[in-house]
Copies of this chain bind each other. A is one copy, B any other.
């Protein structure tokens, strides 16, 4: 995979403007919707059991994030994922805080068993989801922030990808993307991204958008993370703290040109 692939997928995304259906948490809705708009998609947040599957059917991709889960929403997540999968549409699982409570761990495992096209999470979450054991055994889930470096979860990511049959992405200082066999590293991003809430959730939504336009889910996932990371780098250069960083991040997602993506993507 080369940086040119990142640029090509970004071009295609902006041409096709995919409709991305999100069932995501209350904290992430605003920033994720704005990021999807900024990068060139049409986002929608639709969670009711009464319509989630119908909306999945008219969308180009689905992003499921359990950040502020509750039983009716979990029902809608299953219904939407089932419909999306049945229609061959890509869907992403972001298992926020898996391992922190029994409820999150069980819900994440249930959704993972449906075979998401991609899972995106931090290292602690990937470890917890892969091991299916909760926070004690993985030695460090603490709320929703990671207490592991991303390279500590590469083996777990490979194992998880073999189980789900899809892509698994561990994000951190370096992002690792695997299908259980191939492994792509993405070294874009900036530490300030950990100081703005829900940017991980937003990365998952952007992965869904790229899956809607990519032929190879591994490359689409890596491209999404490269674009997200590049926007973070540009934002860091243009800001003085987490408030101005978030603003600049949106501007950067909007302004990032395919040439800049090709020049800046650091893949390995």
Give me the interface of A with B, judged by CB distance under 8 Å.
19, 21, 25-27, 29-31, 33-34, 37-38, 42-51, 54-55, 58-59, 67-72, 97, 100-104, 135, 142-145, 195-198, 239-244, 246-252, 254-255
Which of B58, B241, B251 lies in contact with A250, CB distance below 8 A?
B241
- Other-chain contact of A244, B30, B135, B251 (Cβ < 8 Å): B251
Question: In the assembly, how many copies of this chain are there?
Answer: 3
18 more CB-based (< 8 A) A-B contacts, given A42-B145, A55-B100: A26-B26, A27-B29, A27-B45, A33-B197, A34-B242, A34-B246, A38-B242, A46-B68, A47-B70, A48-B103, A50-B71, A50-B101, A50-B103, A54-B102, A58-B143, A242-B254, A243-B249, A243-B254
Report 17 cross-chain contacts, Cβ distance below 8 Å, ordered by A residue.
A25-B45, A26-B26, A27-B30, A42-B144, A43-B197, A46-B97, A48-B69, A48-B71, A51-B104, A195-B254, A239-B251, A241-B250, A241-B251, A243-B246, A243-B247, A243-B251, A244-B247
Residue of chain B at shortest CB distance from A68: B45
Flag if B103 contacts A51 (CB, 8 Å): yes
Chain B, residue nearest A17 (CB): B145
Residues in chain B near residue A143, CB distance under 8 A: 19, 21, 42-44, 58-59
Contacting residues, chain B, for A33 (C-beta < 8 A)? 27, 197-198
Among the interface residues A239, A241, A248, which one has the most CB atoms of the partner chain B within 10 A? Answer: A241
Q: When chains A and B are docked, how far (Å) is the Cα of A251 from the Cα of B47?
A: 32
- In the assembled complex, which residues on chain B have CB atoms less than 8 Å from the CB atom of A243? 34, 38, 246-251, 254
A168 to B26, CA, bound (A): 29
Task: Known contacts A44-B143, A51-B103, A243-B251; decide if A37 and B196 are in contact (CB<8 Å).
Answer: yes
Name the residue on B nearest A59 (C-beta): B143
Could you tell me if B27 and A195 are in contact, using CB atoms closer than 8 angstroms?
A: no
Query: Are B103 and A54 in contact, CB atoms less than 8 angstroms apart?
Result: yes
